[in-house]
């Protein structure tokens, strides 16, 4: 069984590369913590297999929130990042969502149609 995490980040926001990387990292860590608490054996398998992560792009806040809600509806660990507003974005701006780590087939049900971030 393959286990992975997918992080969706908003491509419509004017974020520097560093800011975008930080938002992705916040999402990845947050969802990993949720998975470790909820399904420690699955989380351990993910870590031992290399902690696979895939970063994809969404085009809007609405699309990002849809990914988050779909993941939660499927019972997957999902973490939504809202920016603190200290640097480039207004406070509370939703920037990224991480789904998983969990079984790849289940994560793909939510994120499989999204394009890789380029």
Q: Give the pLDDT confidence of 17-68 residue by residue, as tens digits.
A: 999 999 999 999 999 999 999 999 999 999 999 999 999 999 999 999 999 9
Rounded Cα distance between 92 and 106, Å, is: 29
Fold of 3-113: Bit1 (3.40.1490)
Residue 1, pLDDT above cutoff 90: no
Q: Output phi, psi for 101, to 5 deg.
A: -75, 140
Residue range 99-106: mean pLDDT, rounded: 98
Which residue ranges make up each domain of the chain?
3-113
State both tokens at 108: 């793909």
Q: Using CA atoms, how far apart are residues 81 and 95, in angstroms rounded to an integer?
A: 6
Give this prediction's pTM.
0.96
């Amino acid at each position: 069984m393959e286990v992975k995490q997918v992080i969706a980040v908003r491509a419509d926001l004017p974020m520097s590369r560093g800011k975008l990387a930080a938002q992705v990292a916040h999402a990845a860590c947050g969802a990993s913590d949720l998975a470790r608490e909820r399904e420690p054996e699955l989380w351990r398998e993910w870590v031992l297999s290399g902690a696979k992560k895939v970063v994809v792009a969404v085009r809007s806040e609405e699309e990002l929130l849809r990914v988050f809600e779909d993941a939660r509806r499927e019972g997957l660990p999902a973490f939504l990042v809202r920016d603190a507003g200290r640097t480039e974005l207004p406070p509370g701006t939703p920037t990224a969502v991480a789904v998983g780590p969990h079984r790849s087939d289940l994560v793909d049900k939510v994120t499989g149609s999204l394009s890789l971030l380029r």
